[in-house]
Amino acid sequence: EFPESGEKKEQRLIVVSNRLPVTISKDANGEYHFKMSSGGLVSALSGCKKTMSFTWIGWPGKDIPMADRETVNRRLLEEYNCYPVYLSDEVADRHYNGFSNSILWPLFHYHPGEMNFDAAHWLAYREANMRFAEVVSNFCQSGDMVWVQDYHLMLLPMLLRSMISGESAQGEMVRKELGRVKEGVDDEVVKDVLGMQPGVASAPGEDGQDEGVEMLDDVEEEGEPLEIKTKTPPPQNRRPHFPRGLSTFQKQEMVAKEKGKDGIRIGFFLHTPFPSSEIYRVLPVRREILLGVLQCDLIGFHTYDYARHFLSSCTRILGLQTQPNGIEFEGRYAQVGTYPIGIEPMQFVEGLQQEKVQNRLKALETRFQGCKVIIGVDRLDYIKGIPQKLHALEVFLTQHPEWIGKVVLVQLAIPSRQDVEEYQNLRACVNELVGRINGRFGTVEFMPIHFLHKSVPFEELTAMYALADACLVTSTRDGMNLVAYEYISSQSKRHGSMVLSEFAGAAQSLNGSILINPWDVQSTADAIHAALEMGPEQRKSNWEKLFNYVSKYTAEAWGTTFVNELTRLSGLPPAGPAG
Ligand code: ADP
Ligand code: G6P
């Protein structure tokens, strides 16, 4: 059982994400070291920490030897309010590189061609989600709020709900089956569990319903999740006895009360786009993933379009009726809403005042004197449209040779998901393009593209943002894109132009940007030209609009709004419990 942590406050918030915000390393003497990261989610949750008792549950990024776990767990909890979910290297690999980043990530970003569906990845995804559910359910107490983050954990709400309401029979069944396949994928088991041939996607039916998977109407009254129905009968003695005529919700409440875990609210936020149902329906396990999150009280997306796509997928794939703001499912009401995330702009405004950053900025200004700078900052990911960005620069320089030698693109590319093949291919493609364009327009004194394939420290990043006359975001799809927010926050002096892809969630909010379609290379090249030639008054007025928005809709405001909404919800359908 979990030890208690932190100061006792009335409301407990448990945040669950794939990665813990702490990096663990071990030195040559066997000493463990911990480093808190400063990602967007960390700042977003800082507001909630002020008023709630707060714990973060997640994968620590590596397996820790059994003998060291007690010490590591204690330090994580006491010093960082974090608790780890350990996964074997194989499960972690198939869950993270496999199902999450080779299946869900490409599909959610409209790259079905890059999706490599593999039944073994799906099993590992379920096992990892199960491991998370076990840890979280052990930790949960009555009245807790659990906030699940992102596409790595889309089965967790369902698994958690069934565990805390006593219906763990399914959990055991899945575990048993997973146990059988651990040493390698057994084709018979895959067929059993998934109802399909291993490695082969089940063909969607004409009407958008899965074939070979049971329909929602066929689900037993107890509310057994569909995907877990297999030939193995559930252990009989685990199911509690209910009076006749109770709705699933009432049964869940009854069991939860008995276990002292009533009133646990579950929220889910997707940080990526949710694609149109026409793309989403490609996913072989499309029903299971939707059912996985429908057990939430609140489901959040960055934009209205993503929320709408989710609801229409529930209608088309599960045959469920939806409301504009949610969906009733098994006697519960899952509210669906739009919560665009932000950043803490003051971190950049204040960061820029630091002497070290100012000195670096001056040095860079001297280095690039007489030359305009365009900045690009992206994880090296195929959704970021880096090849499109490079092509547009090439077209711009071809059509405006007067700019050769007078503008540079500084492209910072943070290495990302390098075990996944598509990321390795992208790296080779980008290297080649950079070489070709630099070879074509460069001289001994001048290179049009400065490409850095590395993570840079915050001070360097801030100085680069402040230096740049324009920022170029060319994502072909992007949940939000916080780089645009960071650039705007660093531009109080220069008022540089923000050139932003209309396919990034940020385009819905950042009024004052030059919007582009990155697939349209000519218009992107024209936008680069417009950005560089824009007069100071126009730039100032654009920047003021943008900074106003970024300062108001901060990361902290996002976290607090979501959690406040979750606190308000009862899980009951608007018209009261069904049944
Ligand atoms: P994503 O979540 O897909 O990575 P975002 O634009 O929302 O995209 O967030 C990216 C984050 O990564 C930003 O905070 C940005 O500052 C950081 N980042 C990206 N590239 C680099 C880099 N080369 N060095 C340091 N930080 C980087
Ligand atoms: C996106 C995802 C996050 C993820 C981040 C970095 O923003 O929505 O969940 O953490 O990319 O990716 P990584 O694979 O390094 O965690």
Question: For residue range 207-248, what is the model confidence (pLDDT) as tens digits?
Answer: 333 333 232 222 223 333 333 333 333 333 334 456 677 666
Instruction: Determine phi and psi for 420, rounding to 5 degrees.
Output: -95, 130
Element containing residue 58 per DSSP (H, E)? strand 53-59
pLDDT band for position 105 (50/70/90)? very high
Find the mean pLDDT for residues 110-118: 91
Alpha-carbon distance of 176 to 481, in angstroms, equals 41
The mean-pLDDT minimum among 212-226, 229-243, 299-313, 434-448 falls in 212-226
pLDDT above 70: residue 1: no
CB 53 within 8 A of CB 12: yes
CB 342 within 8 A of CB 555: yes
Element containing residue 335 per DSSP (H, E)? strand 332-338
Q: Which ligand is nearest to the CA of 465?
A: 1
Q: Is 38 in the pocket of ligand 1 (CB under 6 A)?
A: no
Find the mean pLDDT for residues 469-478: 98
Q: Is 393 in the pocket of ligand 1 (CB under 6 A)?
A: no
Percent of all residues in the chain with a pLDDT value above 70, rounded to a whole number: 81
Q: Is 150 in the pocket of ligand 2 (CB under 6 A)?
A: yes
Give residue 39 CA to ligand 1 midpoint distance, Å. Answer: 9
Q: Is 417 in the pocket of ligand 2 (CB under 6 A)?
A: yes
**What is residue 226's predicted lDDT score, i.e. its pLDDT?**
31
pLDDT above 90: residue 578: no
Alpha-carbon distance of 427 to 423, in angstroms, equals 6
CA distances (Å), 440 to each of 85, 368, 449, in order? 50, 20, 11
Q: Which residue's alpha carbon is at the smallest distance from atom 4 of ligand 1? A: 379
CA distances (Å), 329 to each of 154, 194, 290, 314, 548, in order? 16, 23, 11, 10, 39
Alpha-carbon distance of 377 to 464, in angstroms, equals 10
pLDDT band for position 47 (50/70/90)? confident
Place of tokens 């663990």: 24
pLDDT above 50: residue 423: yes
- Report the nearest atom of ligand 2 relative to the CA of 101: 14
For the chain, what is the mean pLDDT?
85
- Report the nearest atom of ligand 2 relative to the CA of 272: 8
Alpha-carbon distance of 449 to 430, in angstroms, equals 11
Place of tokens 């996985």: 292
- Report the nearest atom of ligand 2 relative to the CA of 96: 14
Q: Is 247 in the pocket of ligand 2 (CB under 6 A)?
A: no
Give residue 480 CA to ligand 1 midpoint distance, Å. Answer: 12
CA distances (Å), 456 to each of 19, 377, 463, in order? 20, 10, 11
**What is residue 474's predicted lDDT score, i.e. its pLDDT?**
98
| Assigned token pair, 298 | 């609140």
Give the list of residues 6+ apart from residue 184 with CB closer than 8 angstroms, or none. Answer: none
Closest CA relative to residue 274, chosen from 297, 298, 305: 305
Alpha-carbon distance of 510 to 547, in angstroms, equals 9
Give residue 127 CA to ligand 1 midpoint distance, Å. Answer: 29
The more confident residue out of 196 and 80 is 80
pLDDT band for position 540 (50/70/90)? very high
Q: Is 414 in the pocket of ligand 1 (CB under 6 A)?
A: yes
Give residue 17 CA to ligand 1 midpoint distance, Å. Answer: 18
pLDDT above 90: residue 155: yes
Q: Cβ atoms within 10 A of the Cβ of 508, count?
A: 16
Q: Which ligand is nearest to the CA of 17?
A: 2
pLDDT band for position 29 (50/70/90)? very high
Alpha-carbon distance of 524 to 416, in angstroms, equals 25
The more confident residue out of 183 and 486 is 486
Give residue 286 CA to ligand 2 midpoint distance, Å. Answer: 22
CA triple 480-484-488, angle to 5 deg: 140
The more confident residue out of 341 and 210 is 341
Q: Is 477 in the pocket of ligand 2 (CB under 6 A)?
A: no
CB 411 within 8 A of CB 386: yes
Model's pTM, two decimal places? 0.86
Closest CA relative to residue 26, chosen from 59, 62, 57: 62
Closest CA relative to residue 216, chosen from 207, 225, 228, 206: 225
**What is residue 471's predicted lDDT score, i.e. its pLDDT?**
98
**What is residue 40's predicted lDDT score, i.e. its pLDDT?**
79
In this structure, the chain runs to a length of 579
Question: Is the Cα torsion angle 273, 278, 280, 286 positive or negative in sign?
Answer: positive
Q: Which ligand is nearest to the CA of 419?
A: 2
Find the mean pLDDT for residues 294-309: 97
Q: Is 461 in the pocket of ligand 1 (CB under 6 A)?
A: yes
Q: Is 343 in the pocket of ligand 1 (CB under 6 A)?
A: no
Q: Is 473 in the pocket of ligand 1 (CB under 6 A)?
A: no
CB 147 within 8 A of CB 566: yes
Q: Is 489 in the pocket of ligand 2 (CB under 6 A)?
A: no
